[in-house]
Amino acid sequence: MYTSIKTHNQRGRPVCIATDDYESESGSMISQTVAMAIAGTSVPQLTRPGSFILTSTSGRQHTTFSAESSRSLLICLLWVLKNADESVLQKWFTDLSVLQLNRLLDLLYLCVSCFEYKGKKVFERMNSLTFKKSKDMRAKLEEAILGSIGARQEMVRRSRGQLERSPSGSAFGSQENLRWRKDMTHWRQNTEKLDKSRAEIEHEALIDGNLATEANLIILDTLEIVVQTVSVTESKESILGGVLKVLLHSMACNQSAVYLQHCFATQRALVSKFPELLFEEETEQCADLCLRLLRHCSSSISTIRSHASASLYLLMRQNFEIGNAPIA
């Protein structure tokens, strides 16, 4: 039984990044508070100049980043989250407003989608497609070498859109018309290149899997620090709902077995400490959680099945203890 949210020290401490756009009121003609009041928007909470704040960017023009640039920026964010001290993170989360914390949770939601675990099967499928393409290219090369169509005639037929593959057999013509005597040439398959590419693909799959696992563990650590910070505040319901949303999204995506074990532990601790949040405030997410747990109960990995079953049992027990009807 988990009675509090615990952070996993063995996974490292994640940290959040922010931009310091604080501007002193004395350096402008009209103070920021007066300008916000004239515009009809809410007056921002004033903080001391030394703290980190996130300013509203509704009036700015946004530039669309490419997928590679977005991935690089998210990696930088996760690197800062991992290497920052936990006390610094807690102090920063305390100074942020509810809106700013929800923006941070939206960033973590995007990180989960960006660094989804692919596994070896995806890269093996890519390898098989590459090998099939190489075989097709070799067949076309042999046809061009052994065929009776000259390069000039082939170019003319290609321009007319009438180029077709030459049938095998007598259509090749006599042996005197061959450009390449296959029986006089020793052909050897370049297996070294194929083996090297296969090794590179396996290495790429390993790196991608480690990156996905590490990124999601950093996200999980950040969520735990957010829960520890806002659990004593009055606006914890809205923040905890966003935390649960990110957690459920990570369960829905493809994840490694190492991450899922820690994810289930965090989920059980969250349900144990805030049962009213799940069964009274976020009833729709409770249904989604049941669906995720049932899906993982049919996993091919025994460890995942055990953790999912334990989470499902704790969910039903907490629901019974607070006096609700049984979960359908």
Write out pLDDT tens, residues 221-235. Answer: 999 999 999 888 777
**Residue (of 240, 251, 255, 261) closest to 305 by Cα position:** 261
d(CA 106, CA 110): 6
Report in angstroms the alpha-carbon separations of 198 from 124, 126, 127, 130, 193: 9, 10, 7, 10, 9
Reduce the DSSP state of residue 181 to 3 states and report it.
Answer: coil
Number of Cβ within a 10 Å radius of residue 316: 13
- Give me the pLDDT at residue 174, please: 45
pLDDT tens per residue, the chain (328 residues)?
444 444 445 455 444 444 444 344 444 456 666 566 555 555 444 444 444 455 555 556 667 888 888 899 999 999 999 999 999 999 999 999 999 999 999 999 999 999 988 766 655 565 555 555 555 666 666 666 665 555 666 666 666 665 444 444 444 444 444 455 555 555 455 444 444 567 777 788 889 889 999 999 999 999 999 999 988 877 788 898 899 999 999 999 999 999 999 999 999 999 888 888 888 877 888 889 999 999 999 999 999 999 999 999 998 888 888 776 555 4
Q: Are 323 and 276 in contact (CB under 8 A)?
A: no
Q: Three-class SS of residue 15?
A: coil
> Which residue do the tokens 């593959």 mark?
165
- The tokens 């093996």 sit on which residue? 124
Per the listing, tokens 């996905």 go with 212
Q: Taking the C-alpha atoms of 40, 41, 42 and 44 in order, what is their torsion angle to the nearest 10 degrees?
A: -120
pLDDT at position 170: 43
In terms of pTM, does the model score above 0.85?
no
Residue with tokens 């402008």: 28
Closest CA to 215 of 236, 181, 246: 246
Angle (CA) 210 79 227, round 5°: 95
Cβ burial 194-217 (10 Å sphere, 16+ → b, else e): eeeeeeebeeebeebbeebbbbbb
Rounded-to-integer distance, Cα 312 and Cα 327, Å: 11
Per-residue pLDDT at 251: 93
Burial class (CB in 10 A: 0-12, 13-18, 19+), 307: buried
**pLDDT tens digits, 170-220:** 444 444 444 555 555 554 554 444 445 677 777 888 898 899 999 999 999
Give the pLDDT of residue 15.
42
Stretch (H or E) spanning 142: helix 120-146
CA–CA separation, 148 and 223 (whole Å): 68
DSSP 184: G
